[in-house]
């Protein structure tokens, strides 16, 4: 999977979300919601149940799955089922020289669950190191850590999340 494919997955996720939301009032969906609610009604409050429509990508060579997106319904013992979404922002990395875009919670090399937070942090699964063979790509002024703040080479600290675009960690595209 290259950067382009993950961008496609991101688009598909949006369409899945739209599809699911659009059909909330369909009679079949209303019947499903009633069944889901009936499943947990009267149980202790520690229980809940979900129906989810999810997009995962699996790599048999890595033996790992990346969860891209999920949308569904959650029901608690009291109340009505409500809409839930599960998603992760995408991070852009330079990995061993090439651009890789992947959800934030995964190692871009081996796809293990790994959230890189600070320089020198290693993936416990493949030993990749943040700042050595994995670097963040800043190809615009969007903070590559929170995707909200604005940073530049002149002002490398993000006002939103305090991320410092250490030159050992960030490559400016």
Q: Which residues bind Zn ion (CB under 5 A)?
A: 107, 109-110, 112, 123, 125-126, 128, 143, 145-146, 149, 158, 160-161, 163
When the beta carbons of 36 and 102 are compared against Zn ion, the nearer one is: 102
CB of 153 vs Zn ion, minimal distance in Å: 15
CB of 60 vs Zn ion, minimal distance in Å: 17
CB of 86 vs Zn ion, minimal distance in Å: 22
When the beta carbons of 32 and 146 are compared against Zn ion, the nearer one is: 146
CB of 62 vs Zn ion, minimal distance in Å: 9
Residue 79 to residue 130: CA distance in whole angstroms? 44
When the beta carbons of 16 and 169 are compared against Zn ion, the nearer one is: 169
Give the largest Cα separation in the chain, rounded: 59
When the beta carbons of 51 and 114 are compared against Zn ion, the nearer one is: 114
Concatenate the DSSP letters of all residues of 103-165 into one string: ETTB-TTT--B----STT-B-TTT--BBTTTEEEEESSSB-TTTSSSB--SSS-B-TTT--B-
CB of 138 vs Zn ion, minimal distance in Å: 11
Task: State the burial class of residue 38 (Cβ atoms within 10 Å of its Cβ: 0-12, 13-18, 19+).
Answer: exposed
Residue 94 to residue 173: CA distance in whole angstroms? 10
When the beta carbons of 79 and 173 are compared against Zn ion, the nearer one is: 173
């Amino acid at each position: 999977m290259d950067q382009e494919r993950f961008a496609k997955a991101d688009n598909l996720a949006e369409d899945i979300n739209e599809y699911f939301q659009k059909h909330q009032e369909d009679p079949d969906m209303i019947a499903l919601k009633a069944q889901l609610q009936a499943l947990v009604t009267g149980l202790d409050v520690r229980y809940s149940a979900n129906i989810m429509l999810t997009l995962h990508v699996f790599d048999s060579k890595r033996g790992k799955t990346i969860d891209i997106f999920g949308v569904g319904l959650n029901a608690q013992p009291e109340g009505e089922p409500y809409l839930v979404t599960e998603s992760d922002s995408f991070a852009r990395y330079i990995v061993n020289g090439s651009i890789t875009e992947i959800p934030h919670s995964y190692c871009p090399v081996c796809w293990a669950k790994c959230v890189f937070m600070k320089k020198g942090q290693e993936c416990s699964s493949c030993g990749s190191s943040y700042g050595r063979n994995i670097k963040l790509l800043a190809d615009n002024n969007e903070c590559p850590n929170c995707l909200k703040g604005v940073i530049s080479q002149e002002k490398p600290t993000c006002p939103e999340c305090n991320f410092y675009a250490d030159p050992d960690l960030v490559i400016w595209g």
